[in-house]
Amino acid sequence: MQRLLRTACRGFALLLILPLVGEVHGHLRNFARLDQAELKEANLHAGIDDALMKIHHDTKNRVEVERDYGDIPVVTCHPGRPNQVFLNILNNAQQAIDGNGTIAIRTWVKDDQVHVSIADTGSGIPQEDVARVFDPGFTTKGVGVGTGLGLSICFQIMEDHGGSIEVKSEVGVGSTFSLSLPVRPS
């Protein structure tokens, strides 16, 4: 009888977990388009949400994520590349927040450009370092924590797509990364 009960409990647990596994698998599949060589239409909101799912274990019960998603069109790009940018910036944002804080994401379209703003209430970046954050090898993190390549890769990805990335930051207030991508490449 105990054996039957244990088997039933395992089966019930599987029924509860399978939808979650399917959801995580879908997010990873969407995110793992890093090797797609051809240009495709991509839903940037889905890419942002996939990146948020990947860092959820670091943000839950600590960081509130505010989404203000505008009505934006799909963007023709190499879909995995913007996803990589979103993951890097969102992960940096959550790492910059000591304790509880907020990450605010806003999207909008203007003049055939899709804009994404990612703001955090983290520690901020000293003004003397802001101009260098996109330089290869530069990091504001401690020794052994970062390679200093993440934001330089983000800069290159945005440039390769005909877009841009900028940062504004204030120590003790937080940072805002502003991204823009053309709806269609030129």
Domains and CATH numbers, the chain: 32-182 (3.30.565.10)
Q: Please, which pLDDT band fits residue 34 given cuts at 50, 70 and 90?
A: very low
Output the pLDDT for position 126.
94
Distance between CA atoms of 14 and 4, rounded to whole angstroms? 15
For the record, the structure tokens of 80 come out as 């995995």
pLDDT at 16 exceeding the cut of 70: no
| Higher pLDDT pick, 160 / 11 | 160
pLDDT at 76 exceeding the cut of 50: yes
Handedness of CA 55, 61, 66, 69 (dihedral sign): positive
pLDDT digits (tens, 9 = 90+) for 91-141: 999 999 999 999 999 999 999 999 999 999 999 999 999 999 998 887 776
Output the pLDDT for position 14.
45
Mean pLDDT of 40-59: 96
- The percentage of residues in the chain with a pLDDT greater than 90, rounded to a whole number, is 69
Burial 124-140 (b: 16+ CB within 10 A, else e): bbeeeebeebbeeeebb
- Indicate left, alpha or beta for 124 from its phi (over 0: left) and psi (-120 to 50: alpha): left
Alpha helix stretches (DSSP H) within the chain? 2-31, 44-59, 80-96, 127-130, 150-160
- State residue 29 phi and psi, 5-degree precision: -65, -45
pLDDT at 70 exceeding the cut of 90: yes
What letter would DSSP give residue 99?
S
For the chain, the average pLDDT equals: 85
End-to-end CA distance of the chain: 69
Mean pLDDT of 30-53: 80
Distance between CA atoms of 55 and 2, rounded to whole angstroms? 39
Distances (CA, A) of 77 to 25, 107, 117, 132: 23, 17, 19, 27
pLDDT at 12 exceeding the cut of 50: yes
Q: Please, which pLDDT band fits residue 148 given cuts at 50, 70 and 90?
A: confident
| Higher pLDDT pick, 169 / 24 | 169
Mean pLDDT of 48-64: 96
